[in-house]
Amino acid sequence: MSNARELEIAEFVAIVASVLGTGFAAVTQQVAWVATPLTIGLGLNFYNRQRLWELNRKERHGEMEQLYQQIELLAPLEPTVKQLQQEIPDREQIENIQRAIVRLQQSSLPRTEADGLLVALSQLQKQIPPRDQIEELQSAIAQLQQQSQENNSSSPTPTTEDGNFGQVRENLLNLGISLKTLFSQLATPEGESADGQFQDKSSAYNAAHGIHTLAISADGKILARDSSSYEIALQEVGSGKELGVLEGHSDYVDALAFHPKTPLLASGSADGTIKLWDVETKEVRKTLRGHRAVILAFSPDGTTLASGSPDATIKFWDVETGIEKQTLSNDNDGITTLSFHPQKEILAVGTQGGRLQLWNLQTGEKLGEHQFIEFKQSLRAIAFSPDGKHLASGGDDPTIHLWNVPDLIEQQTLKQHTFGIRTLAFSPDGNFLASGSSDKTINLWDLKTVAVRETFTGHRGKINAIAFSPNQPLLASGSSDSCVKFWQYPVSETTETP
């Protein structure tokens, strides 16, 4: 290897180490202490293996032995990835602090005592990054883990002088830049707006909460979304005009789903209740208790509501009576996403442990299951195509998987995003698949060409929810930047047959 190449690699390792070290230091010194050796270790590990490939061709066995010893010395750095993950606060910890601040502001404590507690809580809150930053960091860690596994596996001799070094170098450098940006302030100044963009102004904490779920009514007129004040905001599809709020939950709203035929909205909250709302009167029709729902879905005929929970159960509710009809248990693996088949008695389920499942709702048995084992990713999104022949899934890695139904055989993988997949939706005509990612972009995939037709950019946070209008070429998106955007997409060409 030339001295110029060695100098280039050394400079690159120093840049990535500096970028990552600076980014993590913005959270806590302890996390920075973990992150910097991890980055240096991965960089040196790759650098050493690149040199091994060169030395192998020249049979310089003495120096090869020394490099093997260096790689063995770097092996203890592998546990630092897990240690780093343990240092990241979870969503519940963040929201507990936010709720405590709100309740203190509303309490009847003596002013001096309340002010002192508020100062302490506010200082603590500043040390915890917003939820979107935490989850984006976890996605970055997953990519580092994957890169580490690739570097530590047996690597074939490159077919060219550079091998795959250039691509890996670019990937690592982009990752370093992303992590540096990660800890910059992502909040949009209050009141700022742009065409097609509508910001949640319901409280001072919307930057830390963002928009995490939304749904569009069956008639395509109303969009419902969560807010940072435990309310559900209603907006006019397309214009974004505010239509009012639904009040009744005592904690954050995690899931929303519109009835497929009527103006009925289901909402699941961290307060442990599911509410059925009449969006025309803005009144609660029924309150279903006993399930912390993070995902909701109506059956195609609208008679049943399914709710999935981190407690690893799926409950089925009679929409008319509000009575629980059935419960499925999923082996202590929390539910993250679910979707009804549009024609058959089949439910698709995604889990925290990276399992994709198809359930027969008539028998209560599994039709199939796939376990993702690539760094134990969590499934975040699944969606059936309108004809029910295909299922799309996405999780903590940037790849979208397309499956045949019901045999659950993988048909295609779609790769374009740079961070994990947060949300998926098929267009009503089945010609497009939209994917929202932690990389802050939305891709519109043309399923005829299996290529990206459009990429929508403009959000400042990860894309948590998307929904197609049922009757016009509009796609709605909700992001951790606390904004809703509406995007026009191209109507695909149709072929007339005689």
Residues 179-217 pLDDT 10s: 444 433 333 333 333 334 554 433 323 334 689 999 999
The answer to whether the pTM exceeds 0.75 is no
- Kindly indicate the confidence band of residue 1, based on its pLDDT and cuts at 50, 70 and 90: very low
Task: Please report the pLDDT score of residue 134 as a whole number.
Answer: 61
Q: What is the pLDDT of residue 209?
A: 63
Residue 390 has pLDDT above 80, yes or no: yes
Count Cβ atoms below 10 Å from residue 194 Cβ, excluding itself: 11
User: Which tens digits make up the pLDDT trace of 425-483?
Assistant: 999 999 999 999 999 999 999 999 999 999 999 898 899 999 999 999 999 999 998 89
Mean pLDDT of 51-61: 50
Confidence band of 155 (pLDDT split at 50, 70, 90):
very low
pLDDT band at 387 (very low <50, low <70, confident <90, very high): very high
Between 23 and 415, name the one with better pLDDT: 415
- 156: pLDDT strictly greater than 90: no
**Least confident span in 92-101, 201-210, 368-377, 487-496:** 201-210
Can you tell me the mean pLDDT for 41-47?
A: 51
- Write down the pLDDT at residue 258: 98
Whether 80 shows a pLDDT value over 80: the answer reads no
State residue 102's pLDDT score.
Answer: 60
Higher pLDDT, 422 or 11: 422
Residue 361: band (very low, low, confident or very high) from pLDDT cuts 50, 70, 90: very high
- As a whole number, mean pLDDT of residues 3-24 equals 43
- Mean of the per-residue pLDDT values of the chain: 74
Biggest alpha carbon distance in the chain? 81
pLDDT score for 8: 45
Structure tokens, 281: 């009167």
pLDDT at residue 168 tops 70: no
Q: Is the pLDDT at 20 greater than 70, yes or no? A: no
Q: Report pLDDT for 376.
A: 57
- In this predicted model, which residue has the larger pLDDT, 257 or 240? 257
Q: Answer yes or no: are the C-beta atoms of 265 and 232 closer than 8 Å.
A: yes
Q: Is pLDDT at 166 greater than 60 in this prediction?
A: no
Name which residue leads in pLDDT, 114 or 35: 114
Whether the pLDDT of residue 338 is over 60: the answer is yes
| Structure token digits, residue 51 | 């040199």
